[in-house]
Amino acid sequence: MRKTVGRITIKDVAEAAGVSVGTASRVINNKATVRPEIRSAVLSAIDRLDYQPNAVAQSMRRRSTQLVGCIIREINIPALAAFVRAAHDELDQAGYSLVISNSEGRRAREEELIHRFGRLQSDGMLLGPYTPVDPAYEKLLRGFGAPIVLFDRNEPEWADAVAADHAGSIDRATSRLLDLGHRRIAILTGNPLLFPAAERIRGYRRAFQRAGLAVDESLVRGTGFLAAEGFRNASSLLASAAPPTALISGGIDMLPGVLRAIRVRGLSIPDDISVVGSGDSELAELHTPPISVERWDMAETGRTAALLLLRRIGGERDTPPEHVLLPAEFVERASLAPPRQS
């Protein structure tokens, strides 16, 4: 006798099987001992009524939602989509669902989303804050009642984190440019208070230092990861009295802006200017000429982040925070050439 109104609850199942709700619950979670004949009676009732446990009620009681929040800047960036995809697979396999949200890189939205995922009682969170973590932010994160894993960030340092070795790859890229004879090498990246920007600049300086050369500070621009910033900075540099002969685009989706600035100015790659991008992409690979990039495995990043998170969720609460640094390589393509003799 199917109930006509409302969904089927465990109570209906118990009634149909002629047992108590408690027993029905024990069957459903196949717990402890329950007589085989009763078990099958309950299972048949479940089948007959097409019963599905109400996850909300379960979450309420078990105090675990099997939900993981993920705050990224923009799902539309292929590299981030790859990250999400890999993390999703790992979490999904462990029975967790992924709630994603785009922060658009805005502090206010990040805060709102963190609050939202807190209210949601999500069991964990993957977070790539776009704002430097000041004390207020740190407090907000500390108040989040579940484990947090950061990606491509290293603050707050008490959270687990997965990041790529930007310093290493940009060091290699810069060295290669120096070897080719470049001296005026510009690096465009985000706020140096954020890990990937700081690291890229660190690698850049390290290469100069090793070569015994001084860095021209006017060529180091840490104002923003976005394509628009890339365009702005590249444009102004290229228009200057002593324009750079090589340009490192240090943002995961900055390259389109930089390329546009170069095109607008009528320059050609690599004859007029050498270019290095950050993060491999169809754009970099298929561009004419193909653009050299620092590359790391985004899927591996996502997997690792998910695994770290699952470990914490699984109860490992008081081992020290783990900061995984994944290798990044420098992939040379046709976008590099010696500087033009002038």
Binding at 88: pick from a second copy, DNA, none (beta carbon under 5-8 Å per type) = a second copy
Q: At what angle do helices 10-17 and 36-49 cross, to 10 degrees?
A: 130
Tell me the window of 1-9, 86-94, 101-109, 222-230 that interacts with DNA (CB under 7 A): 1-9
Name every residue whose Cβ is closer than 8 Å to that of residue 303 and which is 6 or more positions away in sequence.
Answer: 86, 87, 89, 90
Q: Does 235 bind a second copy (CB under 8 A)?
A: no
The candidate with the shortest Cα–Cα distance to 189, out of 225, 231, 154, is: 225
Nearer to DNA, 43 or 81 (CB): 43
Interface with a second copy (CB under 8 A), residue from 15, 89, 300, 329 = 89
Instruction: Give the number of other Cβ atoms within 10 Å of residue 231's Cβ.
Output: 20
**87 φ, ψ to 5°?**
-65, -45
To 5 degrees, how large is the angle CA 72–CA 279–CA 265? 105
Cα–Cα distance measured from residue 38 to residue 61, given in angstroms and rounded to the nearest whole number = 24
Q: How many residues does the chain have?
A: 342
Interface with a second copy (CB under 8 A), residue from 33, 286, 319, 342 = 286
Tell me the window of 55-63, 77-85, 252-260, 267-275 that interacts with DNA (CB under 7 A): 55-63
Cα–Cα distance measured from residue 28 to residue 12, given in angstroms and rounded to the nearest whole number = 13
The candidate with the shortest Cα–Cα distance to 70, out of 314, 302, 307, is: 302
Interface with DNA (CB under 7 A), residue from 7, 115, 139, 263 = 7
Structure tokens at 134: 């000041």
Total binding residues for DNA by CB under 7 A?
A: 30
Interface with DNA (CB under 7 A), residue from 15, 48, 53, 102 = 53
Cα(first)–Cα(last) distance of the chain, in Å? 89
Q: Does 92 bind a second copy (CB under 8 A)?
A: yes
Interface with DNA (CB under 7 A), residue from 2, 5, 6, 318 = 6
Q: Does 85 bind a second copy (CB under 8 A)?
A: yes
Cα–Cα distance measured from residue 215 to residue 185, given in angstroms and rounded to the nearest whole number = 9
CB of 309 to DNA, least distance (A): 22
Fill in the amino acid letter for 108: A
Cα–Cα distance measured from residue 223 to residue 186, given in angstroms and rounded to the nearest whole number = 13
Binding at 283: pick from a second copy, DNA, none (beta carbon under 5-8 Å per type) = a second copy
Site for DNA in 26-45 (CB under 7 A): 26, 28-29, 31, 33-35, 38
CB of 298 to a second copy, least distance (A): 10
Nearer to a second copy, 145 or 314 (CB): 145
Cα–Cα distance measured from residue 10 to residue 25, given in angstroms and rounded to the nearest whole number = 7
Interface with DNA (CB under 7 A), residue from 16, 23, 148, 245 = 23
Q: Does 122 bind DNA (CB under 7 A)?
A: no
Residue 4 CB burial class (10 angstroms; 0-12, 13-18, ≥19): exposed
CB of 14 to DNA, least distance (A): 7
Nearer to a second copy, 288 or 342 (CB): 288
> Footprint of a second copy on this chain (CB under 8 A)?
7, 50, 52-57, 59-60, 65, 67, 74-76, 78, 81-82, 84-85, 88-89, 92, 97-102, 115-116, 118-121, 143, 145, 281-283, 286-288
